[in-house]
Amino acid sequence: MGVITYSQEFKSAIAPSRMFKALIVDSHNIIPMIVPEGIKSVEFIEGEGGAGSIKKTYFAESSPIKYTKHKIDALDVDNCYCKYTLIETGVQFDKIDFVVYEVKFVAVDGGSVCKMTSEYHAKEGCELKEDDIKQGKEKAMGLVKSVEEYLLANPDVCA
């Protein structure tokens, strides 16, 4: 089983603690409100949000993926860091066994930078290419931008 690792960074005008809270800590409340056309709801099916919790995300009817389950492996709110694993989806991936994400927000110039690393673990005998994961990376970037716009327009949210 091969592992492909991708790293990306997103700059934001929003402080790291607010972005982290909106995208990670309080995402089950915030994200369905911001992008209801993409995400219907998010709930914890195990735990209450800390390490070991499992979060299930239900996508809109138009999505080819109906749900995902993520296990929170590590959560450090003070340092705006989270590690979590995609453990199940409503769609069978041809080549991907599971995905591990690490997210860290750091302060820069009055805003923040989100540093995200994704490890795609290929199924035995499969080879992953950039095109196999490009759509997921683009959706992640779109979600971050939507959350940033929402927080800019609503300065009291996640303050």
The pLDDT score that the predictor gives to residue 67 is 93
The pLDDT of residue 1: 60
Q: What are phi and psi of 128, to 5 degrees?
A: -95, 145
Q: Is residue 8 part of a domain?
A: yes
Is residue 41 domain-resident?
Answer: yes
Q: What is the mean pLDDT of residues 52-69?
A: 92
Which pTM was predicted?
0.89
Whether residue 158 is contained in a domain is answered as no
CATH of the domain at 9: 3.30.530.20
Other C-beta atoms within 10 Å of 64: how many? Answer: 8
Structurally, the chain folds into a number of domains equal to 1
Burial 72-81 (b: 16+ CB within 10 A, else e): beebeeeebb
Segments forming the whole domain that contains residue 117: 3-153
Given a cut of 70, is residue 55 above it in pLDDT?
Answer: yes
